[in-house]
Structure 1
Amino acid sequence: MWRSRSAPWTDHAQPHRGGGWHRRPGPLETRHEEGHHPVIRVISFGYGHGEPPAAEVTYDLRDLLRNPFHDPELKHLTGLDPAVYEHVMDTPGAEPLAQAAAYLAVGLNETTGADITVAFGCVGGRHRSVGLARRVGEITQLTNRPVTVEHRDVDKPLLPPGAHRARTA
Protein backbone atom coordinates (compact mmCIF):
# COMPACT_ATOMS: atom_id res chain seq x y z
CA MET A 1 0.00 0.00 0.00
CA TRP A 2 1.26 3.49 -0.87
CA ARG A 3 2.19 5.36 2.29
CA SER A 4 3.58 8.82 2.86
CA ARG A 5 6.57 9.48 5.09
CA SER A 6 7.27 12.74 6.84
CA ALA A 7 7.92 15.37 4.18
CA PRO A 8 11.22 17.27 4.59
CA TRP A 9 9.84 20.57 3.23
CA THR A 10 7.45 20.80 6.18
CA ASP A 11 9.87 19.75 8.90
CA HIS A 12 10.22 22.76 11.16
CA ALA A 13 12.40 21.31 13.92
CA GLN A 14 14.96 23.86 15.08
CA PRO A 15 17.88 23.63 17.53
CA HIS A 16 17.04 25.13 20.92
CA ARG A 17 19.53 27.38 22.78
CA GLY A 18 19.26 25.26 25.92
CA GLY A 19 20.13 22.09 24.02
CA GLY A 20 17.88 19.61 22.31
CA TRP A 21 15.27 20.49 19.74
CA HIS A 22 11.95 22.25 19.80
CA ARG A 23 9.27 22.44 17.14
CA ARG A 24 7.95 25.72 15.83
CA PRO A 25 4.77 25.86 13.74
CA GLY A 26 5.26 25.99 9.98
CA PRO A 27 3.48 28.39 7.63
CA LEU A 28 0.67 25.94 6.83
CA GLU A 29 0.36 24.55 10.33
CA THR A 30 -3.15 25.06 11.61
CA ARG A 31 -4.23 22.25 13.91
CA HIS A 32 -7.93 21.49 13.96
CA GLU A 33 -10.10 20.93 16.99
CA GLU A 34 -10.18 17.53 18.64
CA GLY A 35 -12.25 15.10 16.61
CA HIS A 36 -11.89 16.98 13.30
CA HIS A 37 -10.29 14.93 10.57
CA PRO A 38 -8.50 17.14 8.05
CA VAL A 39 -9.60 16.60 4.47
CA ILE A 40 -7.64 16.49 1.24
CA ARG A 41 -9.67 18.24 -1.43
CA VAL A 42 -8.87 17.73 -5.12
CA ILE A 43 -10.45 20.10 -7.66
CA SER A 44 -10.41 20.13 -11.45
CA PHE A 45 -11.22 23.33 -13.33
CA GLY A 46 -10.87 25.12 -16.65
CA TYR A 47 -8.93 28.37 -16.97
CA GLY A 48 -11.33 29.32 -19.76
CA HIS A 49 -14.27 29.30 -17.33
CA GLY A 50 -12.91 31.68 -14.70
CA GLU A 51 -10.29 32.15 -12.04
CA PRO A 52 -8.58 29.11 -10.50
CA PRO A 53 -10.03 28.01 -7.16
CA ALA A 54 -8.18 28.81 -3.95
CA ALA A 55 -5.71 25.99 -3.29
CA GLU A 56 -2.42 25.28 -1.54
CA VAL A 57 -1.08 23.86 -4.82
CA THR A 58 -2.36 24.44 -8.38
CA TYR A 59 -1.10 22.46 -11.38
CA ASP A 60 -1.44 24.05 -14.83
CA LEU A 61 -1.86 21.17 -17.30
CA ARG A 62 -2.42 23.26 -20.43
CA ASP A 63 1.05 22.52 -21.84
CA LEU A 64 1.88 19.31 -19.98
CA LEU A 65 -0.50 16.67 -21.32
CA ARG A 66 -2.11 15.70 -24.62
CA ASN A 67 -5.46 17.40 -25.09
CA PRO A 68 -8.36 15.02 -25.87
CA PHE A 69 -10.23 18.06 -27.27
CA HIS A 70 -8.24 17.60 -30.49
CA ASP A 71 -9.45 14.00 -30.97
CA PRO A 72 -12.94 14.02 -32.57
CA GLU A 73 -13.85 10.75 -30.82
CA LEU A 74 -12.97 12.15 -27.37
CA LYS A 75 -13.84 15.82 -27.74
CA HIS A 76 -17.41 15.58 -26.41
CA LEU A 77 -16.56 13.16 -23.61
CA THR A 78 -14.97 14.06 -20.25
CA GLY A 79 -12.25 12.75 -17.98
CA LEU A 80 -14.98 10.79 -16.18
CA ASP A 81 -15.34 8.61 -19.30
CA PRO A 82 -12.92 5.65 -19.49
CA ALA A 83 -11.63 6.49 -23.00
CA VAL A 84 -10.64 10.05 -22.03
CA TYR A 85 -9.24 8.98 -18.68
CA GLU A 86 -7.02 6.37 -20.38
CA HIS A 87 -5.95 8.89 -23.05
CA VAL A 88 -4.91 11.41 -20.39
CA MET A 89 -3.19 8.88 -18.15
CA ASP A 90 -1.33 7.35 -21.12
CA THR A 91 0.35 10.70 -21.76
CA PRO A 92 4.03 10.50 -20.77
CA GLY A 93 4.48 12.02 -17.32
CA ALA A 94 0.82 11.85 -16.26
CA GLU A 95 1.17 9.02 -13.73
CA PRO A 96 4.35 10.37 -12.09
CA LEU A 97 2.68 13.79 -11.81
CA ALA A 98 -0.39 12.25 -10.18
CA GLN A 99 1.77 10.31 -7.72
CA ALA A 100 3.86 13.37 -6.84
CA ALA A 101 0.75 15.53 -6.35
CA ALA A 102 -0.83 12.90 -4.10
CA TYR A 103 2.39 12.54 -2.10
CA LEU A 104 2.58 16.31 -1.60
CA ALA A 105 -1.07 16.58 -0.55
CA VAL A 106 -0.78 13.70 1.93
CA GLY A 107 2.52 15.03 3.29
CA LEU A 108 1.11 18.51 3.87
CA ASN A 109 -2.05 17.06 5.40
CA GLU A 110 -0.04 14.78 7.68
CA THR A 111 2.48 17.34 8.88
CA THR A 112 0.19 20.35 9.25
CA GLY A 113 -3.05 18.75 10.35
CA ALA A 114 -4.78 21.19 8.00
CA ASP A 115 -7.28 20.72 5.21
CA ILE A 116 -5.30 20.72 1.95
CA THR A 117 -6.66 21.66 -1.48
CA VAL A 118 -4.89 20.62 -4.68
CA ALA A 119 -6.24 21.99 -7.99
CA PHE A 120 -5.66 20.87 -11.58
CA GLY A 121 -6.46 23.22 -14.43
CA CYS A 122 -6.60 22.82 -18.18
CA VAL A 123 -8.26 25.00 -20.81
CA GLY A 124 -11.87 23.85 -20.51
CA GLY A 125 -11.87 21.78 -17.32
CA ARG A 126 -13.43 18.75 -18.99
CA HIS A 127 -10.59 16.41 -19.98
CA ARG A 128 -7.01 16.63 -18.62
CA SER A 129 -7.76 18.30 -15.29
CA VAL A 130 -10.62 15.88 -14.62
CA GLY A 131 -8.44 12.85 -15.41
CA LEU A 132 -5.55 14.00 -13.19
CA ALA A 133 -7.85 15.03 -10.32
CA ARG A 134 -9.57 11.67 -10.56
CA ARG A 135 -6.24 9.79 -10.42
CA VAL A 136 -4.92 11.84 -7.48
CA GLY A 137 -8.18 11.11 -5.65
CA GLU A 138 -7.73 7.38 -6.28
CA ILE A 139 -4.14 7.40 -5.04
CA THR A 140 -4.98 9.51 -1.99
CA GLN A 141 -7.83 7.17 -0.99
CA LEU A 142 -5.22 4.41 -0.60
CA THR A 143 -3.83 6.32 2.41
CA ASN A 144 -7.20 6.05 4.24
CA ARG A 145 -7.42 9.83 4.58
CA PRO A 146 -10.66 11.72 3.96
CA VAL A 147 -10.55 12.95 0.35
CA THR A 148 -13.08 14.75 -1.84
CA VAL A 149 -12.83 15.22 -5.59
CA GLU A 150 -14.74 18.05 -7.25
CA HIS A 151 -14.95 18.77 -10.97
CA ARG A 152 -15.92 22.45 -11.12
CA ASP A 153 -16.30 22.86 -14.89
CA VAL A 154 -16.84 19.32 -16.22
CA ASP A 155 -20.47 20.06 -17.19
CA LYS A 156 -19.80 23.43 -18.82
CA PRO A 157 -19.90 23.76 -22.62
CA LEU A 158 -16.84 23.13 -24.77
CA LEU A 159 -14.76 26.21 -25.43
CA PRO A 160 -14.14 27.24 -29.06
CA PRO A 161 -11.20 25.60 -30.89
CA GLY A 162 -9.17 28.83 -30.77
CA ALA A 163 -8.97 28.59 -26.99
CA HIS A 164 -7.07 25.28 -27.22
CA ARG A 165 -3.38 24.84 -28.05
CA ALA A 166 -2.43 21.65 -29.81
CA ARG A 167 0.01 19.22 -28.18
CA THR A 168 0.66 16.02 -30.02
CA ALA A 169 3.28 14.29 -27.82
Structure 2
Amino acid sequence: MWDVNALSAAVLSALKAYRLGDADARDVCQEAWLELLRVPGALRDETKLRAWLITTARRRALRLITRNRRETSLPPPDPEATPEADVVRAERDRALWAAVGRLPERHRRLMWLLAHRPELTYMQLAGELGISPASVGRLRRRCFDRLRRTLETGGWA
Protein backbone atom coordinates (compact mmCIF):
# COMPACT_ATOMS: atom_id res chain seq x y z
CA MET A 1 0.00 0.00 0.00
CA TRP A 2 1.00 3.63 -0.27
CA ASP A 3 2.90 5.63 2.35
CA VAL A 4 0.60 8.66 2.30
CA ASN A 5 2.83 10.73 4.59
CA ALA A 6 5.96 10.16 2.49
CA LEU A 7 4.13 10.85 -0.78
CA SER A 8 2.51 13.98 0.65
CA ALA A 9 5.91 15.19 1.83
CA ALA A 10 7.29 14.69 -1.69
CA VAL A 11 4.38 16.66 -3.18
CA LEU A 12 4.81 19.48 -0.64
CA SER A 13 8.52 19.57 -1.38
CA ALA A 14 7.85 19.90 -5.11
CA LEU A 15 5.37 22.72 -4.43
CA LYS A 16 8.03 24.84 -2.70
CA ALA A 17 9.12 26.05 -6.14
CA TYR A 18 5.72 27.76 -6.50
CA ARG A 19 6.17 29.80 -3.30
CA LEU A 20 2.71 29.01 -2.02
CA GLY A 21 1.82 29.68 1.57
CA ASP A 22 1.81 26.63 3.83
CA ALA A 23 -1.99 26.43 3.91
CA ASP A 24 -2.28 26.78 0.12
CA ALA A 25 0.41 24.14 -0.47
CA ARG A 26 -1.38 21.71 1.86
CA ASP A 27 -4.70 22.42 0.13
CA VAL A 28 -3.14 21.76 -3.28
CA CYS A 29 -1.61 18.52 -1.99
CA GLN A 30 -4.97 17.44 -0.61
CA GLU A 31 -6.68 18.31 -3.90
CA ALA A 32 -4.20 16.11 -5.75
CA TRP A 33 -5.09 13.16 -3.51
CA LEU A 34 -8.80 13.89 -3.94
CA GLU A 35 -8.37 13.96 -7.71
CA LEU A 36 -6.95 10.45 -7.51
CA LEU A 37 -10.13 9.33 -5.76
CA ARG A 38 -12.50 11.36 -7.94
CA VAL A 39 -11.26 10.09 -11.30
CA PRO A 40 -11.13 6.32 -11.39
CA GLY A 41 -8.51 5.17 -13.85
CA ALA A 42 -6.59 8.46 -13.78
CA LEU A 43 -3.57 6.55 -12.53
CA ARG A 44 -2.87 3.70 -14.95
CA ASP A 45 0.38 2.52 -13.38
CA GLU A 46 0.55 2.46 -9.57
CA THR A 47 4.33 2.58 -9.68
CA LYS A 48 4.04 6.12 -11.03
CA LEU A 49 1.82 7.41 -8.21
CA ARG A 50 4.47 9.80 -6.87
CA ALA A 51 5.02 11.44 -10.27
CA TRP A 52 1.26 11.58 -10.93
CA LEU A 53 0.57 13.29 -7.60
CA ILE A 54 3.37 15.81 -8.11
CA THR A 55 2.25 16.63 -11.65
CA THR A 56 -1.38 16.99 -10.57
CA ALA A 57 -0.37 19.20 -7.63
CA ARG A 58 1.81 21.39 -9.85
CA ARG A 59 -1.07 21.93 -12.28
CA ARG A 60 -3.40 22.84 -9.43
CA ALA A 61 -0.78 25.19 -7.98
CA LEU A 62 -0.51 27.00 -11.31
CA ARG A 63 -4.30 27.28 -11.46
CA LEU A 64 -4.36 28.70 -7.93
CA ILE A 65 -1.62 31.23 -8.73
CA THR A 66 -3.41 32.30 -11.92
CA ARG A 67 -6.72 32.69 -10.10
CA ASN A 68 -5.07 34.72 -7.32
CA ARG A 69 -3.39 37.00 -9.87
CA ARG A 70 -6.70 37.58 -11.62
CA GLU A 71 -8.40 38.45 -8.35
CA THR A 72 -5.68 40.85 -7.23
CA SER A 73 -5.01 42.44 -10.62
CA LEU A 74 -8.55 43.61 -11.28
CA PRO A 75 -8.82 47.38 -10.87
CA PRO A 76 -11.31 48.64 -8.30
CA PRO A 77 -14.63 49.73 -9.76
CA ASP A 78 -14.73 53.36 -10.82
CA PRO A 79 -17.01 55.22 -8.38
CA GLU A 80 -17.49 57.99 -10.94
CA ALA A 81 -18.68 55.90 -13.89
CA THR A 82 -20.38 58.17 -16.37
CA PRO A 83 -23.64 57.47 -18.18
CA GLU A 84 -21.67 57.54 -21.44
CA ALA A 85 -19.32 54.82 -20.17
CA ASP A 86 -22.35 52.77 -19.10
CA VAL A 87 -23.85 53.05 -22.60
CA VAL A 88 -20.57 52.03 -24.28
CA ARG A 89 -20.19 49.09 -21.88
CA ALA A 90 -23.78 47.96 -22.51
CA GLU A 91 -23.28 48.20 -26.29
CA ARG A 92 -20.00 46.26 -26.05
CA ASP A 93 -21.68 43.56 -23.96
CA ARG A 94 -24.59 43.37 -26.41
CA ALA A 95 -22.18 42.99 -29.34
CA LEU A 96 -20.20 40.34 -27.49
CA TRP A 97 -23.21 38.18 -26.64
CA ALA A 98 -24.66 38.67 -30.13
CA ALA A 99 -21.35 37.36 -31.52
CA VAL A 100 -21.43 34.48 -29.04
CA GLY A 101 -24.95 33.70 -30.28
CA ARG A 102 -23.55 33.16 -33.78
CA LEU A 103 -20.99 30.59 -32.60
CA PRO A 104 -21.54 26.82 -32.86
CA GLU A 105 -23.49 25.28 -29.99
CA ARG A 106 -20.48 23.80 -28.20
CA HIS A 107 -18.67 27.16 -28.32
CA ARG A 108 -21.76 28.99 -27.02
CA ARG A 109 -22.02 26.54 -24.13
CA LEU A 110 -18.32 26.97 -23.30
CA MET A 111 -18.62 30.78 -23.33
CA TRP A 112 -21.67 30.63 -21.07
CA LEU A 113 -19.82 28.38 -18.61
CA LEU A 114 -16.72 30.59 -18.64
CA ALA A 115 -18.79 33.71 -18.04
CA HIS A 116 -21.23 32.39 -15.47
CA ARG A 117 -19.24 29.65 -13.72
CA PRO A 118 -15.60 30.81 -13.77
CA GLU A 119 -14.70 28.59 -10.81
CA LEU A 120 -14.99 25.42 -12.91
CA THR A 121 -11.79 23.49 -13.53
CA TYR A 122 -10.91 22.02 -16.94
CA MET A 123 -12.04 18.63 -15.60
CA GLN A 124 -15.43 20.06 -14.62
CA LEU A 125 -15.75 21.97 -17.91
CA ALA A 126 -15.03 18.75 -19.77
CA GLY A 127 -17.79 17.00 -17.83
CA GLU A 128 -20.27 19.79 -18.59
CA LEU A 129 -19.37 19.80 -22.28
CA GLY A 130 -19.10 16.04 -22.70
CA ILE A 131 -15.50 16.13 -23.96
CA SER A 132 -12.16 14.94 -22.65
CA PRO A 133 -10.28 17.27 -20.27
CA ALA A 134 -7.39 17.38 -22.73
CA SER A 135 -9.70 18.92 -25.35
CA VAL A 136 -10.91 21.83 -23.25
CA GLY A 137 -7.89 24.06 -23.91
CA ARG A 138 -8.03 23.52 -27.67
CA LEU A 139 -11.78 24.10 -27.77
CA ARG A 140 -11.37 27.28 -25.69
CA ARG A 141 -8.65 28.60 -28.01
CA ARG A 142 -10.70 27.85 -31.15
CA CYS A 143 -13.75 29.45 -29.56
CA PHE A 144 -11.89 32.64 -28.60
CA ASP A 145 -10.24 32.85 -32.04
CA ARG A 146 -13.59 32.54 -33.79
CA LEU A 147 -15.19 35.05 -31.41
CA ARG A 148 -12.33 37.52 -31.95
CA ARG A 149 -12.68 37.24 -35.74
CA THR A 150 -16.45 37.73 -35.50
CA LEU A 151 -16.06 40.83 -33.33
CA GLU A 152 -13.34 42.28 -35.56
CA THR A 153 -15.59 41.79 -38.59
CA GLY A 154 -18.29 43.72 -36.70
CA GLY A 155 -15.90 46.62 -36.04
CA TRP A 156 -14.93 45.74 -32.46
CA ALA A 157 -11.15 45.61 -32.75
The bucket for the TM-score relative to the shorter chain is: under 0.3
Q: Give the number of the structure whose residues are more often strand, by fraction.
A: 1
Higher-Rg member (1/2): 2
Q: Give the number of the structure whose residues are more often helix, by fraction.
A: 2
TM-score, length basis structure 1: 0.20
Structure number with the bigger relative contact order (C-alpha 8 A, sep ≥ 6) is 1
TM-score, length basis structure 2: 0.21
